[in-house]
Amino acid sequence: MAGSALVIGAGDATGGAIAKAFAATGLTGCCVRRTADKLEPLIADIKAAGHNAIGYGRDARKEEDMVGLVEEIERDVGPLEVAVFNIGANVPSSILDETARKYFKIWEMACFSGFLMGREAAKRMVPRGRGTILFTGATASLRGRSGFAGFSGAKHALRALAMSMSKELAPQGVHVAHVVIDGAIDTEFIRNVAPQRYALKDQDGILNPDHIAQNYVMLHNQPRDSWTFELDLRPWMEQW
């Protein structure tokens, strides 16, 4: 039974590219988003390339969903070699207008789900003394910003989770890393909400999801004497 690579948040371009890239290494891409139907084109793509993938409709915020999912993958697909958490929730608000409900939901999606995935993956990987757990971060992981109390809070907390897990789990053979994406990604979302930015694509001014994915695979392949906890990715023309 070959290994599996779990990608939570496989719905967007980045998650999809990460799933494809790990599937291309021989792992079965276990792709998760809330609605399984929407995963069909991605699964078809991966299979058309001659690789293995399965789509799962699960709510990553629900403990029973995540516990059951990892159980199912380990039983039916193969040992979890890689787990990637790739859910964002970047919805800005003035602190004066931020609702408690939205502040909570951003954290629940962008951090709590990551905790659930991270814990379940760790439970399987630690006894085997191997495996890679990867978290997608953002500029907001590193500093607060006007209007981003909710998003930067969730991303800061996710980074603290990743760092705490790395310090605990690396000495047990499990590689945990955090990738800080600083720039717009080539996605439908950016094409729609930031067309001027999207136009920079011709000059490589926005991040190509496949190139992001190559870094995730590279992290998984690092020999254990030289593991990276954190790296940033940024288009050459990005101001920072």
Enumerate residues 2-61 that contact a copy of itself by CB under 8 A.
Answer: none
Site string for a copy of itself, 220-239 (x = CB under 8 A): --xxxxxxxxxxxxxxxxxx
The span from the first CA to the last CA of the chain, in angstroms, equals 45
Coil, helix or strand at residue 137: strand
Q: How far apart are CA 112 and CA 221, in angstroms?
A: 27
DSSP structure class, residue 50: T
Residues 57-86 binding a copy of itself (CB under 8 A) are 63
Nearest to 114 by CA among 142, 131, 135: 135
Minimum distance between the CB of residue 10 and a copy of itself, rounded to whole angstroms? 19
Q: How far apart are CA 92 and CA 230, in angstroms?
A: 25
Tell which one of 57, 128, 143, 188 touches a copy of itself (CB under 8 A): 143
Nearest to 20 by CA among 204, 208, 206, 182: 208
Minimum distance between the CB of residue 135 and a copy of itself, rounded to whole angstroms? 11
Q: Does residue 91 interact with a copy of itself by CB under 8 A?
A: no
Show the tokens assigned to 141: 């992981």
Tell which one of 166, 190, 216, 217 touches a copy of itself (CB under 8 A): 166
Tell which one of 59, 68, 98, 187 touches a copy of itself (CB under 8 A): 98
Residues 171-210 binding a copy of itself (CB under 8 A) are 171, 173, 175, 204-208
Q: Does residue 215 interact with a copy of itself by CB under 8 A?
A: yes
Minimum distance between the CB of residue 174 and a copy of itself, rounded to whole angstroms? 9
Minimum distance between the CB of residue 63 and a copy of itself, rounded to whole angstroms? 5
Stretch that binds a copy of itself, among 24-32, 36-44, 74-82, 218-226 (CB under 8 A): 218-226
Minimum distance between the CB of residue 169 and a copy of itself, rounded to whole angstroms? 7
| 71 phi/psi in degrees, rounded to 5 | -60, -50
Show the tokens assigned to 197: 């930015």
Q: How far apart are CA 20 and CA 131, in angstroms?
A: 18
Minimum distance between the CB of residue 38 and a copy of itself, rounded to whole angstroms? 26
- Cβ proximity to a copy of itself, 28 vs 141, nearer residue: 141
Stretch that binds a copy of itself, among 1-9, 23-31, 79-87, 145-153 (CB under 8 A): 145-153
Q: Does residue 90 interact with a copy of itself by CB under 8 A?
A: no
Q: On the CB side of 162, how many CA atoms lie within 13 Å of its CA?
A: 30
DSSP bridge partners of 31:
7, 55
Q: Which residue has the tokens 């496949």?
A: 210
